[in-house]
């Protein structure tokens, strides 16, 4: 299943790159070439990351240690990486066909990353409730006070 997922996203990246390169041959500018190279870097990085996550790990004796991450699992990091590939392909095709201004849509990636970091890391850290102090009954409190007085003497 992971192999078919990797093949699908590889083919998506190759298709978007082919169409973009074909149009870039006729209507090229410096910014278009830079954005094309940017998209190639994004595709390669995302594909390699997904391939690394999906790779099974074995011991020296050939025993399976880890079967790899399911790339189609909901809520996993692979879901976000696949979204980056889809967004990059969309930006690349729209910018090749219509206008380079569609690359502004790629700013959704760092915004989404910031939102996930806020929601999962920062917000719980900043807004967590203080730990509840266990209520000490009066008898134990008086006993502790007597011990403290003895220690001070």
What are the domain boundaries of the chain?
2-132
**Structure pTM?**
0.73
For 34-81, what is each residue's pLDDT tens digit? 988 999 999 999 999 988 888 878 888 877 777 777 777 787 888 888
pLDDT number for residue 25: 84
pLDDT number for residue 61: 81
The overall average pLDDT reported for the chain is 84
In this structure, what are the phi and psi dihedrals at residue 72, rounded to the nearest 5 degrees? -100, 10
Strand locations in 8-109 (E): 57-58, 64-66
């Amino acid at each position: 299943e992971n192999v078919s997922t990797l093949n699908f996203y590889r083919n998506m990246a190759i298709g978007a790159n082919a169409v973009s390169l074909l149009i870039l041959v006729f209507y090229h500018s410096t910014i278009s070439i830079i954005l094309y190279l940017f998209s190639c870097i994004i595709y390669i990085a995302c594909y390699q990351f997904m391939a690394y996550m999906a790779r099974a790990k074995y011991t020296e004796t050939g025993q399976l240690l880890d079967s790899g991450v399911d790339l189609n699992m909901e809520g996993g990091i692979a879901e976000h990486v696949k979204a980056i590939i889809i967004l990059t392909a969309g930006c690349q095709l729209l910018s090749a066909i219509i206008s380079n201004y569609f690359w502004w849509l790629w700013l959704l990636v760092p915004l989404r990353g910031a939102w996930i970091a806020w929601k999962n890391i920062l917000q719980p850290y900043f807004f967590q409730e203080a730990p509840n102090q266990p209520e000490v009954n009066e008898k134990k409190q008086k006993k502790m006070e007597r011990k403290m007085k003895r220690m001070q003497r």
